[in-house]
Structure 1
Amino acid sequence: MASTFKPEQARVPPAIPLPTPPITKFKIGLCQLAVTADKERNIVHARTAIVEAAEKGAKLEIWNSPYSNDSFPDYAEDIEAGKDASPSTAMLSEVARTLKITIVAGSIPERCGDKLYNTCCVFDTDRKLKAKHRKVFFCPCVPIIISSFHP
């Protein structure tokens, strides 16, 4: 028995027109800093650059520190432990709250147990850590760490 189905005659549902999404505009500030061996000075320098960009209207700040395998063990911070163990993220979260901006802070050396990560943190306007991404990082002192995302 032959099939009577004819795909070319199949009913096609009508397309539903979608509303045009609203366009949201905001300024993004990108801070690429020259880092020194003085960690406290680097944190102050980053804060100054973020405040300056926010004063110019930036609502989203992206901050990156230089990447150096040799520096990671010495500069690594325990981000999960908070303020005293992570002065970089303490400053970033406070600036995010004070200036009511979102900060995407990349390339923060993170120590978690005996492992090191090249971590990017996202702080919202209420200073909360909204997301953390551990980027791939290799150091002779630790095994290769595969990226993970922690919302």
Structure 2
Amino acid sequence: MATIKSSAFKLALIQLGGTGKDKTVNLALARAKVLEASKGKSGKEKVDLVVLPEVFNSPYAVNQFRSYAEVIPSIEDFPSTPAASLSESVAMLSAVAKEAGVWLIGGSIPELDPVDEKVYNTCTVYNPEGTLVAIHRKVHLFDIDIPGRITFKESETLTGGRTMNSFEAPFGRIGLGICYDIRFPELAMISARQGCVAIIYPAAFNCTTGPLHWELLLRSRAVDNQFYTAMVSPARSEDKSAYQAWGHTTLVDPMGAIAGTTDEKEDIVYATVEPKVLEEARKGIPVTVQRRFDVYANVAESKPTA
């Protein structure tokens, strides 16, 4: 288990509302909320990390992802890419992170790979200088069929990512996932064992699975790994013909307690990540040093099969 290196930091989790078919409007709404969130609940606080929800720049609809998809530069190419050449969303996210002076997890957007023309559901992260520092493509695609309730198949449009990702900030290492990724505990296990103080999932659960599993999965990943876990949702849509997100953006602490949450409406959840809570959890219930890797494999040290 890697040593956790972290200091207390303040989060602002944006449950964004009003997303529609006009990308320009969607980006303007997101930009305004990032600037609002960066100032804290009182409007005078210093927030360290701001997070947007899953697919914040377009409708959450399989048949529309490709038409909204943008080319995202690699981290290596980003510094030399002219601002005018950046995709609309990346340009906005980079600029607003710099303007607000915050670390920004830019939710996720549909990404077009210019080489093979595949589309991904992709999260980008920016430092307070506006530099792109991390990219996570949603690994697990949301293909479900609950008879009489909901059928949704992201694989009709999207391709799954092939890497696990995190980023290092002055306040600690943060793991990344997107929505359905939370149902696969390996990503969280590996993030925790690599020294992450938290894992954050931009997410858009629906109103069928949300009431059953949203909080359950958050608390499970937090307790299993004794670190902070958050899911950041869009607000419930007022357009009844649109995809209806569960909402309830939530941060759970390493003991499984709710550190911050909201309902289904547009909101900003403000909370603080306290490393001492993590340290006390791991000291009081020392599962991190009691695992029996002589009996079962350490998933963090295993290699992919393909």
For residues 119 and 22 of structure 1, the distance between their equivalents in structure 2, rounded to whole angstroms, comes to: 27
| Distance in 1 (alpha carbons) for counterparts of 2:112 and 2:15 | 23
Q: Which residue of 1 aligns with 2:129?
A: 126
- SS of 1:109's equivalent in the other structure is strand
Asked if 1:139 corresponds to 2:155, the answer is: yes
State the match for 1:28 in structure 2.
Answer: 11
How big is the shift at 1:133?
0.5
Give 1:25 deviation, angstroms.
Answer: 2.2
TM-superposed CA distance for 1:84, in Å, is 4.2
Instruction: Give 2:23's aligned amino acid.
Output: K
Aligned to 2:48, the other structure's residue is in SS state: strand
Q: Which residue of 2 aligns with 1:6?
A: none
Q: CA deviation at 1:23?
A: 6.6
Task: Give yes or no for the alignment of 1:115 onto 2:104.
Answer: no
AA partner of residue 94 (structure 2): S
Q: Deviations over 1:66-110 (max 9, x none)?
A: 643122111101111765451111111111111210001122110
CA 1:58–1:67: 2 relative to 1, 3 Å? farther
Runs of 4+ in 1 over 6 A off after TM superposition: none
Identify the residue that residue 99 of structure 1 maps to in structure 2.
100
Shift of 1:28: 0.7
Structure 1 residue runs of 5 or longer lacking an equivalent are 1-20
Alignment partner of 1:74 out of 63, 67, 72 = 67
Give the AA of the match of 1:74. Answer: S
Shift of the 148–68 alpha-carbon distance from structure 1 to 2, 3 Å rule, reads farther
Q: Which has the higher contact order (CA 8 A, sep 6+)?
A: 2
Partner of 1:58: 47
State which structure, 1 or 2, has the greater radius of gyration over its C-alpha atoms.
1
Partner residue, 1:87: 88
- % identical equivalent positions: 35
The match for 1:12 is none
RMSD, aligned α-carbons: 2.4
Contact persistence 2:72–2:87 (CA under 8 A) = yes
Amino acid at match of 1:47: R
Match of 1:15 in 2: none
1:42 to 26, 32, 35: 26
Secondary structure of 2:129's aligned partner? coil
Contact 1:133 1:147 in 2 (8 A): no
Q: Secondary structure at the match of 1:122?
A: strand
Shift of 1:24: 2.3
Q: Is the 8 A contact 1:131 1:149 kept in 2?
A: no
TM-superposed deviation, 1:22: 8.5
- Structure 1 residues 120, 139: CA separation in 2 closer, same or farther (over 3 Å shift)? same
Structure 1 residue identity aligned to 2:64: S
Q: Give the total of aligned pairs.
A: 130
2:49 touches 2:103 (CA, 8 Å); kept in 1? yes
Unmatched segments (≥5 aa) in structure 2: 41-45, 74-80, 142-153, 168-306
Q: 1:95 and 1:51 mapped to 2: Cα distance?
A: 7
> CA separation of 1:139/1:126 partners in 2, compared to 1, >3 Å: closer, same or farther?
same
Quote the offset at 1:148 in angstroms.
Answer: 2.3
Question: Which protein is richer in strand relative to its size?
Answer: 1
- The one-letter code sitting in structure 1 at the alignment partner of 2:16 is L
TM-score of the two chains, using structure 1 as the length reference: 0.74
What is the CA-CA distance between 1:141 and the residue it aligns to?
4.3
Change (3 A) 1:30 1:145: same
